[in-house]
Amino acid sequence: MTDMTQRNRTGDSENETAQAVTTRKTTRRGGGDPGTRGRTTIADGVVEKIAGLAAREVVGVHAMGSGLARTFGAVRDRVPGGAKAVTRGVKAEVGEVQAALDLEIVVDYGVAISDVARAVRENVVASVERMTGLEVVEVNIAVSDVKLPEEEEEEETGTRVQ
């Protein structure tokens, strides 16, 4: 009988150990989904780049920024190794869950400014919210200029090297 009792105890002991190992493997530490642990912050510049690219996608938007900013940007674009300023004409204020944007645009002559502004707002809001998860509370648009067809021809001929 003694042999039987020791075997049962040994068998029970092994089962208990196996159950304890199984329990330890399934127990999570830290609680909750690993994807929700920690905090993500998004810089203003990231939101400005997304908004700038989204605004430029809209038909009728000729350029971004004021005349002075575009002039400096054109000089910077011509410098070898200089990158095109995607954030030109965009200012973002980013909080923990919300963002507000101010855009300065130049529209092409002949387009309905209200339609272009509406399309820019829709595209910017959709892009920023989809990519960042932030709620866009406002997109303020200032139209600083209208690009005339004659101005494009003058710019093209004026920038040629002779």
Q: Residue 119 is encoded by which pair of tokens?
A: 């399309």
Neighbours of 101 (CB within 10 A): 27
61-75 tens-digit pLDDT: 999 997 654 455 555
d(CA 130, CA 123): 11
d(CA 48, CA 142): 16
Positions in the chain whose pLDDT score sits under 50: 2, 7, 69-70, 154, 156-157, 160, 162
Q: Record the pTM.
A: 0.68
Q: Which stretches does DSSP call E strand in the chain?
A: 61-64, 90-94, 98-108, 135-147
Separation in Å, CA 161 to CA 71, 83, 101, 158: 18, 21, 39, 8
At 38 the pLDDT is: 87
Cβ atoms of 52 and 87 within 8 Å: the answer is: yes
